[in-house]
Amino acid sequence: MVRTGIDFVEKSFNRGFASFGTICPLACNHCYTFMKGYNTPKNDNINDIISSLKDDFYDIIYVSGHCENFINPMIGIELCEKLFDKFSSHIMITTRMIFNDTEIARLKRLQTKMNIADKRLFVCSSIPAFDSYRKLEPSALTPSPADRLNFLQRLYSEGFYTFLTLRPLFPNYYIPIKELLNIIELAKDYTSVVLSSGVVVSADNVEKLEGFSRQEKYGETLMNCLHNPDVKVQHVDVSKELSEINKKCNEFNIPMFNESLVAVRYLLMFENNNSTKKHFKIFSDYVQAINGDFKNLDKIINLNNSVNKNFWVNLKKEFV
């Protein structure tokens, strides 16, 4: 049932997930894929992944989920190329890895091909901490946050849509919020958006997160994406931390989101251009409309191209 503008956005995309099924070698301490009961599909190669996507058409495919797909960036990029050849959809990749010049050039060729078809390639670089990142990411394979920021900068200057992904977000006592605010400050001129949302925990990852309080109150929920309904996780209250991130993003005119599809819907409203600062005035109208305050909806409808206009006209029919 569609209850909010956010549901409406999510239902407006047919989203697919594409990921290798190997046990992730980065083994982050917070990772949900290591929780008991987590089901990883047997996707050993690119053909397996493509066959696991059952629909003929997807609006967007996320290359993320069950493991880090860019341990070898060339293989991850090849996966993206084959996905685009088959589905011609938008693609969002999420990674903690960094790419060298040859790999960036190959990704750029894919982006050019996608742009000709009016599709976009979104690249999320996950950086959940700065100085204390080893509390979460103990693997020597995981690049430092500073290297990931350089990578984000390289991609942005090559015209990619970049998502500075401050996920998962931890309470201030565990990962100081000033680290995240510092990351935003460092990335302020080369991220299209900021994406952040709270960590989910179970006994399995809390055990690995040394010093994480077991006494906190969590709401319990089932993991409802990635076909893992049997994994029970709990949310941690990070509302204060999110509001600080939001404040910092506003200071630098960076759109900040908690849900990735809501960010994608926002970015699709504009001409293909990864710089979002010049549209920042419309951002608050967008957030209001998505949250059920439609007083500026007509402004948004008039701004949009025909594909997106239909989305907003339908949203108006549904809610106004």
**260 vs 92: CA distance, rounded Å:** 9
27 is a site residue for ligand SF4 (CB under 6 A): yes
CB under 6 A: which stretch of 20-28, 271-279, 288-296, 299-307 binds ligand SF4?
Answer: 20-28
Closest separation between CB of residue 126 and ligand SF4, Å? 7
Collapsing DSSP to helix, strand or coil, 198 comes out as strand
Q: Which is nearer to ligand SF4, 2 or 26 (CB)?
A: 26
CA-wise closest residue to 129 among 156, 165, 93: 165
67 is a site residue for ligand SF4 (CB under 6 A): yes
Closest separation between CB of residue 28 and ligand SF4, Å? 3
CB crowding 68-101: b at 16 or more within 10 Å, else e: bbbbebeebbebbbebbeebebbbbbbbbbbbee
What's at 273, amino acid-wise? N
Q: Which is nearer to ligand SF4, 136 or 289 (CB)?
A: 136
Closest separation between CB of residue 41 and ligand SF4, Å? 14
Q: Which is nearer to ligand SF4, 143 or 255 (CB)?
A: 143
**220 vs 201: CA distance, rounded Å:** 9
50 is a site residue for ligand SF4 (CB under 6 A): no
Closest separation between CB of residue 10 and ligand SF4, Å? 22
254 is a site residue for ligand SF4 (CB under 6 A): no
**151 vs 38: CA distance, rounded Å:** 31
Q: Residue holding tokens 């319990």? A: 220
Q: Which is nearer to ligand SF4, 27 or 74 (CB)?
A: 27
169 is a site residue for ligand SF4 (CB under 6 A): no
Collapsing DSSP to helix, strand or coil, 163 comes out as strand
- In the region spanning residues 69 to 98, those forming contacts with ligand SF4, defined by CB under 6 A, are 96
Q: Which is nearer to ligand SF4, 180 or 290 (CB)?
A: 180
Q: Which is nearer to ligand SF4, 15 or 96 (CB)?
A: 96
Q: Which residues have CB under 8 Å from 135's CB, separation 6+?
A: 29, 129, 174, 175, 209, 210, 211
Contact 1, 38 (CB under 8 A): no
CB under 6 A: which stretch of 21-29, 53-61, 181-189, 191-199 binds ligand SF4?
Answer: 21-29
Q: Residue holding tokens 């996507």? A: 53
Collapsing DSSP to helix, strand or coil, 182 comes out as helix
**Where along the sequence are the contacts to ligand SF4 (CB under 6 A)?**
24, 26-28, 31, 33, 67-68, 96
